[in-house]
Amino acid sequence: MIKKTLQKDISDSDKKKILEYINRKLGEYEEIEKIFVEQKNENIFEVLVVTKKISPKIEREIVEIEDRVKNKYNVSVNLFTHTESCFVQ
Q: Count CA within 13 A, CB hemisphere, residue 4.
A: 28
pTM over 0.85: no
Query: For the chain, what is the domain count?
Result: 1
**What is the reported pLDDT for 89?**
41
b/e per residue 24-46 (b: at least 16 CB within 10 A): eebeeeebbeebeeeeeeeeebe
pLDDT in tens, the chain (89 residues): 445 555 556 677 887 888 888 888 888 888 887 777 666 655 555 667 777 777 888 888 878 887 887 788 766 666 666 666 554 44
- Residue 35's domain spans which residues? 2-87
**CATH number of residue 24's parent domain:** 3.30.70
- Spatial separation of the C-alpha atoms in residues 89 and 84, rounded to whole Å: 11
H helices present in the chain, as ranges: 12-26, 56-73
What CA–CA distance (Å, rounded) separates 53 from 34?
12
Q: What is the pLDDT of residue 44?
A: 57
